[in-house]
Structure 1
């Protein structure tokens, strides 16, 4: 969530927490960094972009008057990121799973707006407020791809307003195919991947990076011309409705939130504050799981059923056919292998071979027929 740009354009010279006077840097004509006047007299090399943007936006203590989940601050973690058009964004993530659903156990946030109060007749508070984006806790805010993403809900909350937001969620599980791959990596964000892709292309084209382009390999722009050229190219991408070509996989599992405004009413406070309640009213979650309508198992089952119906075959019959085909085509090879094994066994056991051969035998007539002359008398 972040303060609306209406506030940033009111009086850029009122913040007392600058490292140096921004009015001197821009001569008082810098309503937003997208304008060239902000960079004409910028002291490149003396004042870092990180310090400039950090001191030109509001800290967490200046933004959150109170916050909590189930009434406790320790149940949430808040981190921030700086963006070129939208300024500083604070992301609130839960640190625990809630087992009940009601307004009392949901998020409760009281935001304090730092709008400049004027004594003129112009109502500066009109249109000022907070941009609230609701998305999966694994995602991070990116100002380029958020507007084209179907997984992000947006709510605008004005100052001096109390809003109750009811949440419903849908869970999607996609199937990874050869043509359409997806990522199951923990913490993977295709929106963040697309943003880094755009940053890298723009940095390579301008040969330098901007202060909102984190973790880029190129050095920050060090003169007014290179910075203005980078901003011009970034503006074209930001305002374009065309999809940027990036090789980023979609997540295999994603969660989409649907918001319903339960109530929106005035919130009377001496200071310009906004009170938000964000909570579930039911434990029911719609789960949509993608599955292949016709897979390999179904194909094999259909083929087997068709063959059995048309040919009257069974599993045992198919095994018998395969056995006969094997003997028909490989019978000679099998017999040669059997004979070879028998000869090998015989050569290894000579005693057994000798025991199987018989000596030459005599005819029984030769054994018992004796000449009469040789018989003795008695």
Structure 2
């Protein structure tokens, strides 16, 4: 048989066309696809003009869905990291917490002892003349600072809370600029408020001014620091130092200091942590951080740097450099970069000078009274201003107002979604249950029929036995 021949136009569709300039260009795409695209948009335009109300409904629904998504995102964000609000009120308590009082002497050192031990003129260890001829191999730095500061007998004539020294816990601390300081802490809260039940301190001074005391402070006397009892006093300026109240009291002076308390309660957030430990002191943490950094730079420490692992400096150059670096930190007004968290609860004491007059005594002494006149405390608390209840209310309001959803409507939507995604599985499970029920029903019917046949056979056998007689 001969080969089947087709016309050229019938066997090969026209794909390319020749233009007048004899260049080939695709013509099939225009011939076949453009009418389909035009048909799609024509059908869409016809559908829109056929029911414009449905278009408006879909547009409004789309806009509401966008708004709901944004609001839900904000709700979840606030639930994850709730905003903090501050509440202020006054509280009248049955007892009131007394502050800690730190007393530092001015001038802080015994100049004659410093000069004798250092081998040169030494009014204060901050001066380089104290270390140029210092016998490092003969006298330890601990002995140098211990003997040149004033002990408790040189400072206190009497101290007590509610006129009883047993109500007070006394601690001592050594500082480079302030010398030896003494901190008094109450053992129990005060049940009454008056001058008689507050702090009563009588201090004794030698009235001996050093060659630099007039330049440094302008007078001789006592530095009085009032702070929270859980805080450790530090002479270094840092962020927590803003919670310490300061008063300078001269010699032969009687002063009455009235107290007011503000209690702050902070909330721990994901961005800013705080400590609930009653024994935690951010002042002590910051001071340790500064000491450790300074001693690491010099590979040695000073006797006022407690709990630092580095050995004390043993030559004049390293000691003078350490003191110079410490002076820069001491006189710097900026906060040192330390990773010390703030306490969650803190107290700030405000002082008011009620009376200040001359204290006429034959000896150079000072009388200090520190007390409350009221148990009224100013409370400032931070609280989360967003919780689960508000979250449910916001979500319900957004879904209900913008999308018209209710609990019943939401249940219906969930049912339809469950049937849509799990309908086949549910039908298969239902079919299996029906097959099991049908099989069990057939087994029951067959067992019943077998029992009926057995009973009929037994009855017939019994009848045969009776007819035999």
Q: TM-score range by the shorter chain?
A: 0.7 to 0.9
Query: Is the deviation greater in 173-182 or in 197-206?
Result: 173-182
Asked if 1 retains the 8 angstrom alpha-carbon contact of 2:120 and 2:130, the reply is: no
**1:166 — aligned with what?**
258
1:109 to 2:208 alignment? no
Asked if 2 retains the 8 angstrom alpha-carbon contact of 1:7 and 1:128, the reply is: no
Match 1:322 to one of 414, 435, 438: 414
**2:456 — aligned with what?**
none
**After superposition, where does 1:279-290 map in structure 2 within 5 Å?**
279-290=371-382
**1:82 — aligned with what?**
174
Asked if 1 retains the 8 angstrom alpha-carbon contact of 2:114 and 2:123, the reply is: no
**1:254 — aligned with what?**
346
Distance 1:7 1:238, change over 3 A: closer
Asked if 2 retains the 8 angstrom alpha-carbon contact of 1:145 and 1:194, the reply is: no
Higher helix proportion = 2
**2:444 — aligned with what?**
355
Please give the alpha-carbon distance, in whole angstroms, between the structure 2 residues aligned to 1:58 and 1:353: 107
**Any stretches of 5+ residues in structure 2 without a counterpart?**
1-101, 451-469
Asked if 1 retains the 8 angstrom alpha-carbon contact of 2:282 and 2:341, the reply is: yes
Asked if 1 retains the 8 angstrom alpha-carbon contact of 2:223 and 2:247, the reply is: yes
Asked if 1 retains the 8 angstrom alpha-carbon contact of 2:108 and 2:177, the reply is: no
Asked if 1 retains the 8 angstrom alpha-carbon contact of 2:105 and 2:181, the reply is: no
Asked if 1 retains the 8 angstrom alpha-carbon contact of 2:172 and 2:180, the reply is: yes
**2:332 — aligned with what?**
240
Distance 1:100 1:345, change over 3 A: farther
Asked if 2 retains the 8 angstrom alpha-carbon contact of 1:145 and 1:195, the reply is: no
1:35 to 2:127 alignment? yes
Match 2:224 to one of 132, 137, 150: 132
Asked if 2 retains the 8 angstrom alpha-carbon contact of 1:134 and 1:257, the reply is: yes
| Deviation at residue 307 of structure 1 after TM alignment | 2.2
**1:156 — aligned with what?**
248
Paired residue secondary structure (1:285): strand
Paired residue secondary structure (1:288): strand
Deviation digits for residues 47-85 of structure 1 (CA, Å, limit 9, x no counterpart): 332222121111112211101111111101010100001
| Deviation at residue 353 of structure 1 after TM alignment | 6.0
**1:142 — aligned with what?**
234
In the superposition, the TM-score normalised over structure 1's length comes to 0.83
Distance 1:294 1:353, change over 3 A: same
| Deviation at residue 3 of structure 1 after TM alignment | 4.3
| Deviation at residue 35 of structure 1 after TM alignment | 1.2
Asked if 1 retains the 8 angstrom alpha-carbon contact of 2:108 and 2:179, the reply is: no
Asked if 1 retains the 8 angstrom alpha-carbon contact of 2:239 and 2:335, the reply is: no
Asked if 2 retains the 8 angstrom alpha-carbon contact of 1:209 and 1:220, the reply is: yes
Query: Is the deviation greater in 79-88 or in 59-68?
Result: 59-68
Equivalenced residues, count: 343
**2:293 — aligned with what?**
201
**1:228 — aligned with what?**
320
Query: Is the deviation greater in 87-96 or in 22-31?
Result: 22-31
Paired residue secondary structure (1:108): strand
Match 1:69 to one of 161, 186, 201: 161
